[in-house]
Amino acid sequence: MAGKTEKRKKYYSMNQQQYDEMKLFYKALGYSDEHTEVLCGSCFGADIEVDPDISYQEGWRFRLNYRRPVYEESPSHGGLKGFFQSIAGKGMGARARSSNASGMMGMMMGASMPMASCEPVEDGCAPMELARETAACGAMPAPMPAEEFDTVETNAKPENEAHSPLDQAQLIFSANVNTASWTYLRSRINRRRSIDSDLVRIEEIVNSYSYKLDAPKDDALFSVSAEKCSCPWQKDSELMFLGFKGMKAESNIRRNLALLVDVSGSMDDEWILVQMSMASIMAQLREGDILSIISYSDNTTTVVKKLQCGSRDDLINAILSVDGIGGCTNGSKGLEDAYNYLSDNFRENDINRVFIFTDGDFNFGITSAGGLEKYIYDKRETGIYLSIVGYGENNFKDNKMEALARNGNGNYTFVSSPGDILDCLSDKLLSSMITIAKDVKISVEMNPAYVSEYRLIGYDARMLTQQEFHDTKKAVDGIGSEHNVVALIEFRRGKAEQKYQSRYVTVSSENVSDEIAFIEVHYKSPEGKDLVMTRSVTVDELDKASDENAETAALLAAFGLLLRKSKYGGDLTKDMLRELYEAELKKHEGAEILPYSHYAVIGRYLE
């Protein structure tokens, strides 16, 4: 039965400065003036407009607004689908929040803007009672201050403890190349917001820095560097720095990508950032590459299916064809479609990867972290990998996104500004897409003849058992082209004692070897072959090594320990962090410090 359906025009408003920054962003990606104007004109079915009367939008999160209704003939919808579509038409995602200085030029130039309130939604914020009825389907409830409405979900684990080598012989953990914790913290600090210590993963802060590590030699997939320095927060301890550097892979290979876009109600104020993120990936596609785009809310929509890349116009049209819907979040159905499309075009030596842009709020279909983990774990054997790009202020599900990436042989980053996109999805995109080693598991055994006690800093949720280490079917993260993976171990010199006696097992620290540590890495080649690499670190080698990387890692670890409110921080204070920071800055005197770099962010934290 046909009827008249209310059709309201959607639009986003931003001030002139932010609009100009968005244009600079697209130009930096290599888009032409014509394409830049088109991309800056609309987003997911909504117009983008300049309003001189509004302030700079905090965190590049824009509220969706609606104009007066326009009526057009269309079939009426009944049932659940019609209900969700009516919600989408009423602007359920719109909500009020404060505004602060943060954005691409603020990141690039270190600028700041005064705080101000956003303008109210024009003509059509959804009624509060309807908002309450539909909150479970991903739409936000009645507007409330951002800091008060917090539904972030994390997977925090207790910190690793210190051990005698005679009580626990090995540290065993999986590699971590995610950057989500670091980019989330960067966003919060840049905007002077509170930090949830459960979201501080120290290994991600340490690993997100580009160290000066030796490249692998010959045909090795990665190299291992060892350094040491004094431990600033424990006067009787030292820090052992172990740096794993991935080889540089061949980059001239076909990309077979599926972009999976969350267009549910909980994501509506992130859609401009999502479109910019998609554009950053699509800017690097070339003739011969294949692209599919699937959007999902309560239902999924195939925007483009197996598009043969080569025409920039076709890619722009694909981005502009994504429509913001609202409603629930059936991400599992979208994942199924994405994997199916990639399977149709799968070639073993291609980059075959799903990118999912979401806040992780799966509330329809498979919704639990465990269920999603199993689904992705089963899919990883297909040779298709997964990358998660996370968004959100106080409503993102870090636990689900981190689990998806870990079980999908993938990676997970967090985006809150154009600076994050340029850093993580443009500059480092290729290294993230090309996996050179899968299921990387690292064992470090300390020699009790020289080490009395030791503790791995970070990797709290990535510790493995002996059985998992030797189980070739145990799936963990991989390493990408030229990726750094760093382990920082706090240790004390001296002869170890067995603190906890066993009835049947007695061990001794009498070891005449000159090794202070023995490293064993189990991993798979991209083709799935099981491989093992070993490396001995001698006392003499460690004592004579440069400490440049180790001291930088010590600064970043100290920063993480403070944010984590760690019980292993010892004498660490904010003043001590400032001293470490200033000492590091002197090493880089005269060099450009980018506003979104580690040094700039720590400097803002110390303010």
Q: Domain check: are 312 and 393 in the same one?
A: yes
Q: What does the alpha-carbon distance between residue 426 and residue 432 come to, in Å, rounded to a whole number?
A: 10
Looking at residue 323, what is its pLDDT?
93
Contact 3, 86 (CB under 8 A): no
HSE-CB of 471 using CA atoms within 13 angstroms: 11
Helix (H) / strand (E) element for 294: namely strand 290-296
Question: Residue 495: phi, psi to the nearest 5?
Answer: -85, 125
Residue 157 falls inside a structural domain = no
pLDDT band with cut points at 50, 70 and 90 for residue 109: very low
How many degrees, rounded to 5, is the angle at CA 159 between CA 153 and CA 160? Answer: 140
Q: Domain check: are 353 and 227 in the same one?
A: no
Looking at residue 102, what is its pLDDT?
38
Residue 142 falls inside a structural domain = no
Q: Which of 215-229, 416-430, 484-498 has the highest mean pLDDT?
A: 484-498
Q: Domain check: are 393 and 497 in the same one?
A: no
Looking at residue 385, what is its pLDDT?
87
- Look at residues 89, 122, 137 and tell me which one is the last residue of a structural domain: 137
Q: Domain check: are 242 and 307 in the same one?
A: no
Looking at residue 554, what is its pLDDT?
98
Contact 511, 447 (CB under 8 A): yes
Instruction: Give me the chain's average pLDDT, please.
Output: 82
pLDDT band with cut points at 50, 70 and 90 for residue 70: low
Residue 147 falls inside a structural domain = no
**435 φ/ψ sector (left φ>0, alpha ψ -120 to 50, else beta):** beta
Q: Domain check: are 273 and 420 in the same one?
A: yes
pLDDT in tens, 497-527: 988 888 888 787 776 689 999 999 999 988 8
Q: Domain check: are 461 and 536 in the same one?
A: yes
pLDDT band with cut points at 50, 70 and 90 for residue 372: low
Looking at residue 592, what is its pLDDT?
79
Q: Domain check: are 120 and 175 in the same one?
A: no
| Structural domain total, the chain | 3
pLDDT in tens, 175-212: 988 889 999 999 999 888 888 899 999 999 999 999 99
- Look at residues 394, 427, 460 and tell me which one is the last residue of a structural domain: 427
Residue 61 falls inside a structural domain = yes
> Is residue 46 predicted with pLDDT exceeding 90?
yes
Say which residue, 561 or 131, is predicted with more confidence. Answer: 561
Q: Which of 180, 160, 157, 178 is nearest to 170 (CA)?
A: 160
Q: Domain check: are 108 and 52 in the same one?
A: yes
Looking at residue 129, what is its pLDDT?
31
Looking at residue 171, what is its pLDDT?
95
> Is residue 83 predicted with pLDDT exceeding 60?
no
pLDDT band with cut points at 50, 70 and 90 for residue 552: very high
> Is residue 442 predicted with pLDDT exceeding 50?
yes
Looking at residue 424, what is its pLDDT?
85
Looking at residue 381, what is its pLDDT?
75
Residue 506 falls inside a structural domain = yes
> Is residue 81 predicted with pLDDT exceeding 60?
no
Mean pLDDT of 401-406: 78
pLDDT in tens, 373-403: 777 777 777 888 889 999 987 777 887 788 7
Residue 349 falls inside a structural domain = yes
Looking at residue 5, what is its pLDDT?
52
Mean pLDDT of 425-437: 82
Range of the domain at 483: 170-249+436-606
Q: Domain check: are 14 and 96 in the same one?
A: yes
Contact 446, 536 (CB under 8 A): no
Q: Domain check: are 235 and 282 in the same one?
A: no
Residue 146 falls inside a structural domain = no
Q: Domain check: are 62 and 185 in the same one?
A: no
Q: Which of 137-141, 197-201, 489-493 has the highest mean pLDDT?
A: 489-493
Q: What does the alpha-carbon distance between residue 234 and residue 247 come to, in Å, rounded to a whole number?
A: 35
CATH number at residue 304: 3.40.50.410
Contact 117, 63 (CB under 8 A): no
Q: Is residue 454 classed as helix, strand or coil in its secondary structure?
A: strand
- Look at residues 395, 427, 459 and tell me which one is the last residue of a structural domain: 427
The percentage of residues in the chain with a pLDDT greater than 90, rounded to a whole number, is 52
Q: Three-state SS string across 505-560, please?
A: CCCCCCCCCCEEEEEEEEEECCCCCEEEEEEEEEHHHHHHCCCHHHHHHHHHHHHH
Looking at residue 506, what is its pLDDT?
79
Q: Domain check: are 454 and 416 in the same one?
A: no
Residue 160 falls inside a structural domain = no
